[in-house]
Amino acid sequence: MENLEQVHLQVNEVFYPTEELKKECIVQDYESMYKKSIENPDEFWSEVASELFWYQKWDKVLEWNFPYAKWFVNGKTNITYNCLDRHVENGRRNKLAFISVDEEGNEKKITYGELLERVNRLANGLKSLGLSKGDRVSIYMPNTVEAVISMLACARIGVIHSVVFAGFSEGALKIRVNDAKAKAVITATYTKRRGKKIPLLPTVLEATKDLDFVKHIIVWDRDKEIEESQQNGKIVDFENLIKSSSPVCNPEIMDAEDPLFILYTSGTTGKPKGVLHTVGGYMVNTYLTTKTVFNIKEDTVYWCTADVGWITGHSYIVYGPLANGTTSVIMEGVPVYPHPGIWWEYVEKYRVNVFYTAPTAIRMLMRFGDEIPAKYDLSSLKIIGSVGEPINPEAWLWYYKHVGKEKAKVVDTWWQTETGAHMITTLPCYPAKPGKAGKPMFGVVADVVDKQGNSLPPNTIGY
């Protein structure tokens, strides 16, 4: 570990991207792009949105009535078409969409073509249970590709998904299912954490026992533990539902302002609040931010270590990477089991180019010493990201030196559940300082304001 004096000297140092990365950067001229996004937002966002598929183009890019915004007014699309069909139809049918791994090294690989088929089958299965556009489904699943399939199957047919982190208690789950008035819950028999099976189905059964509006509990029976006699009208087998359904499901044509999902804030400052994101604006912004912040190329292997139960998982495991046709790693487990080098082992094994994690995880791994990442070949890494909280300079420097090997660029991203995508960040082609998040993303005007929304002078605490 570096001594404190060395760290102090480097806190104000500016770190530049390598010449190789600078040549590859998608965003070469941030200033002109940003200026256009602020001064001519209609043209800017129209150009970005036109890179995606629309059944019907919009009449107006933005209808702004502070604090309410409507994006791509009267535009018609489906986010799953842009995440799946578009790629299958354009030569990526056999490209890997996900490498789903667990702590023991068990892996499941799924191509874009295979993912589309499973999503279609599950979507048809949901239809067969009576679910349709506008209904809500809660998802309480392990951090696996089955969770992704569940989310996409809902979005395919216009069902609004509400993913609940599978570490939450029965009480926390009940609050969220009840608030959403979910007609069904998709879950698994268990999740795996630190080598143990953590039951999920009993939690769901307890949380929903007096919620009459929950008509179906769809269960991914991982070890075939549920006997056929237990599979009644309410409990439905996840895999059987997929196998018995058609592999063809035409996407529901969605208005840009139709709801896509509800995600509840953690409730640390009171009752959890449901944040609702709509299809069009969310799709376009997660597509753009994933592409530009992580410099996504055709051969990029990307790994966001978040859980799909949080907004980071929604935007930067599921929708953003898939909209860009990326190959992603998704892992079920914790960063220090069965050993504190498990993440670096997988970075080496899968030749990960972009790695995105939280400062809390970085600080946890720092405690095991510099020698742990030194055991692994991390030379494939080009961009290493930070998300979820401010990253302290000491953690930033350790991450840059010992994981990025002083070559991978640190991108420090700031955003919220409510924004759905990056608001302030460093970009790959531009200099960075430890602990400094960087500049506003396209379309974002960063300011410090009072309770009334008035701009405040420097060195003044905002509302």
Going from N- to C-terminal start, the domains of the chain cover 4-78+279-440, 111-255
Task: Give residue 7's pLDDT band: very low, low, confident or very high (50, 70, 90).
Answer: low
Q: Which residues of 224-234 are buried (b: 16+ CB within 10 A; e: fewer)?
A: eeeeeeeeeee
- pLDDT at residue 93, as a whole number: 98
Cα 191 to chain center, whole Å? 19
Give the HSE-up count for residue 14: Cα atoms under 13 Å, Cβ half-sphere.
4
Find, among 330, 277, 281, the residue nearest to 302 by Cα. 330
- pLDDT at residue 225, as a whole number: 82
Helix boundaries (H) for 85-144: 86-87, 112-128
Helix boundaries (H) for 133-261: 145-156, 170-180, 201-208, 238-243
State in words which class domain 4-78+279-440 has: alpha beta
DSSP code of residue 228: G
The SS3 call for residue 289 is helix
Average pLDDT, the chain: 95
pTM for the structure as a whole: 0.95
Query: Which residues lie closer than 8 Å to 20 by C-beta, 6 or more apart?
Result: none
Find, among 351, 354, 356, 301, the residue nearest to 326 by Cα. 301
CB atoms within 10 A of CB 41: 15
Tens of pLDDT, residue by residue over 100-136, are 999 999 999 999 999 999 999 999 999 999 999 999 9
For residue 1, pLDDT beyond 70: no
Tens of pLDDT, residue by residue over 208-224, are 999 999 999 999 999 98
Task: Give residue 375's pLDDT band: very low, low, confident or very high (50, 70, 90).
Answer: very high
User: Are 4-78+279-440 and 111-255 equal in CATH topology?
Assistant: yes
- pLDDT at residue 435, as a whole number: 87
- pLDDT at residue 271, as a whole number: 83
Whole-angstrom CA distances from 211 to 133, 183, 184, 205, 214 are: 21, 10, 11, 10, 6
For residue 11, pLDDT beyond 90: no
Task: Give residue 270's pLDDT band: very low, low, confident or very high (50, 70, 90).
Answer: confident
H or E element at residue 30: helix 30-39
Q: Which two tokens stand for residue 87?
A: 């790629």
- pLDDT at residue 463, as a whole number: 85
Q: Does domain 111-255 have CATH number 3.40.50.980?
A: yes
Tens of pLDDT, residue by residue over 379-425, are 999 999 999 999 999 999 999 999 999 999 999 999 999 999 999 99
DSSP code of residue 259: E
Cα 220 to chain center, whole Å? 21
CB atoms within 10 A of CB 401: 14
Give percent of the chain above pLDDT 90.
Answer: 91
- pLDDT at residue 229, as a whole number: 55
- pLDDT at residue 316, as a whole number: 99
Give the mean model confidence (pLDDT) for residues 198-209: 97
How do 259-264 and 424-425 pair as beta strands?
A: unpaired
DSSP code of residue 458: T
- pLDDT at residue 269, as a whole number: 67
For residues 313 and 109, what is the distance between their CA atoms, to the nearest angstrom? 19
